[in-house]
Chain A
């Protein structure tokens, strides 16, 4: 069977798919996993920037699929982690340059060489989404604690269920515990109550995330970052470890509710 293909998707744009993919990739690499990351957002290539690998791109995924290079030639090795590779998206083409069957064939041809293959899905529910989801063994849905993002996540989960890829697991990104405490933001409870899928992790809002992404050093590598810790915990959960949910904020309001909801399962 070989490596597990995990697609990271969301429906809505801007919720942190690429940041999540990059951080989970680095976190898994730190756990000595052999890893391939694929940027499926053709035409809007980003994952290479967040990973700090932009200047090493020679070939991209469309070159592989159209036969202009070998798969190995398009795989960029990470600077720090020798077992972490990235296949970048093409910047000049669009989603129709790749088909769902191409994606299945591509991942099947390298499954044996890796423990995980992470696919960064584009926003939306059209061709690009279908390409990204087609080869997935598991789907991770990223959402923010906002009604519109949750609504789109719900739609995506419905589509995944239709494709027998569902229901997937959820990452709730950019949670501000103080705002949740004041009742100005949806809580993890509110979100999981509606979506009714397994919560893989909660990532707190953190000022270190944006500068890390901009400099191409995912925040997971910063041991003082709370968001980084959240991503490391999620990576361990993806490997099947039972990691308790971290305590968000000092107020305890959210924490109490989370432990009440998930304590039994994650104790």
Chain B
């Protein structure tokens, strides 16, 4: 099990810290995760889930400071330990005694199929200046023109031409993908990876899918 799991929730991000690993190591991993993908974390409201681990007030204070140094606001703490809850209250943080939910086990950001996967369907062309944000998947039945932007926690499917900017897996889901009938985005991001389309004058439109392979965004035929 990974030491740090990140999940997009309605009002921000839920960060779950492994309860059995060594505390300093967990903090180092957390700092590294945020530094890798700082653009997603900056300004986000964080709920910290520490499971059953009792966290002292000074320890919680150092997590809060670690986040603040990176422009991230610690908003609430979820824990099964009353010690941790007391520490949170002392630091003026919202605290919840909550049993560890199975959902925290994986970091997939959109809801599972059984929950009815969250998503938005857009039945027209997104023109310059339009931004669509979703906590789930985004499907566009139309084109995405240059100057338009889609930011989704999940996948992005364009039944049309993609020429604007797309960010799939915006909360860090590296299994997210983007597909389009014609893939020439201004800029394409998946989780923490970024790529731009090669300038190719003899470009022939064809359905393609972009996903992360071997720490790179790769684009291949969509079939």
Within 8 A of A (CB), among B108-146: 124-130, 143, 145-146
Whether, in the assembled complex, A261 has its beta carbon less than 8 Å from a beta carbon of chain B, the answer is: no
What is the CA–CA distance of A161 and B128 in the complex, to the nearest angstrom? 12
Are the C-beta atoms of B124 and A161 separated by less than 8 Å? yes
What is the CA–CA distance of A159 and B147 in the complex, to the nearest angstrom? 13
Are the C-beta atoms of B143 and A196 separated by less than 8 Å? yes
Knowing A194-B145, A196-B143, the reply to whether A155 touches B128 (Cβ < 8 A) is yes
Q: Which A residues lie within 8 Å of B124 (CB)?
A: 161
In this complex, the member of A151, A155, A158, A161 whose beta carbon has the largest number of chain B beta carbons within 10 angstroms is: A158
CB distance from A166 to the nearest CB of B (A): 9
Whether, in the assembled complex, A120 has its beta carbon less than 8 Å from a beta carbon of chain B, the answer is: no
A–B complex contacts, Cβ < 8 Å, 16 sampled? A154-B128, A154-B129, A154-B145, A154-B147, A155-B127, A155-B128, A155-B129, A155-B147, A157-B127, A158-B128, A158-B130, A159-B129, A161-B124, A161-B127, A194-B163, A196-B143
In this complex, the member of B128, B129, B145, B163 whose beta carbon has the largest number of chain A beta carbons within 10 angstroms is: B128
Q: Given contacts A151-B128, A154-B127, list 9 more A-B pairs with CB under 8 A.
A: A151-B146, A152-B128, A154-B147, A155-B128, A158-B126, A158-B128, A161-B124, A194-B145, A194-B146
What is the CA–CA distance of A157 and B126 in the complex, to the nearest angstrom? 10
CB distance from B123 to the nearest CB of A (A): 12
Chain A residue nearest to B142 in the complex (CB): A196
Chain B residue nearest to A11 in the complex (CB): B128
Chain A at the B interface: mostly helix, strand, loop or mixed?
Answer: helix
Q: Which A residues lie within 8 Å of B163 (CB)?
A: 194
Q: Which B residues lie within 8 Å of A151 (CB)?
A: 128, 146-147
Considering the complex of A and B, which 5 residue pairs feature the smallest CB-CB distances, nearest first? A158-B127, A154-B128, A155-B128, A155-B129, A154-B127
What is the CA–CA distance of A158 and B145 in the complex, to the nearest angstrom? 11
Chain A residue nearest to B124 in the complex (CB): A161
CB distance from A10 to the nearest CB of B (A): 13
Chain B at the A interface: mostly helix, strand, loop or mixed?
Answer: loop
In this complex, the member of B125, B146, B163 whose beta carbon has the largest number of chain A beta carbons within 10 angstroms is: B125
Q: Which B residues lie within 8 Å of A155 (CB)?
A: 127-129, 147
What is the CA–CA distance of A155 and B128 in the complex, to the nearest angstrom? 5
CB distance from A129 to the nearest CB of B (A): 13
CB distance from B141 to the nearest CB of A (A): 14
What is the CA–CA distance of A152 and B129 in the complex, to the nearest angstrom? 9
Q: Which B residues lie within 8 Å of A194 (CB)?
A: 145-146, 163
Within 8 A of B (CB), among A157-181: 157-159, 161
What is the CA–CA distance of A155 and B147 in the complex, to the nearest angstrom? 8
Within 8 A of A (CB), among B23-70: none
CB distance from A74 to the nearest CB of B (A): 35
Q: Which A residues lie within 8 Å of B129 (CB)?
A: 154-155, 158-159
What is the CA–CA distance of A151 and B126 in the complex, to the nearest angstrom? 12
Q: Which of these, B125, B128, B146, B147, contacts A196 with CB under 8 Å?
A: B125
Could you give, for residues 92-110 of chain A, a 1 whenever the CB lies within 8 Å of some chain B CB and a 0 otherwise?
A: 0000000000000000000
What is the CA–CA distance of A151 and B146 in the complex, to the nearest angstrom? 7
CB distance from B115 to the nearest CB of A (A): 32
Q: Which A residues lie within 8 Å of B125 (CB)?
A: 196
What is the CA–CA distance of A3 and B208 in the complex, to the nearest angstrom? 49
Could you give, for residues 219-244 of chain A, a 1 whenever the CB lies within 8 Å of some chain B CB and a 0 otherwise?
A: 00000000000000000000000000
CB distance from B189 to the nearest CB of A (A): 21
Q: Which A residues lie within 8 Å of B130 (CB)?
A: 158
Q: Which B residues lie within 8 Å of A161 (CB)?
A: 124, 127
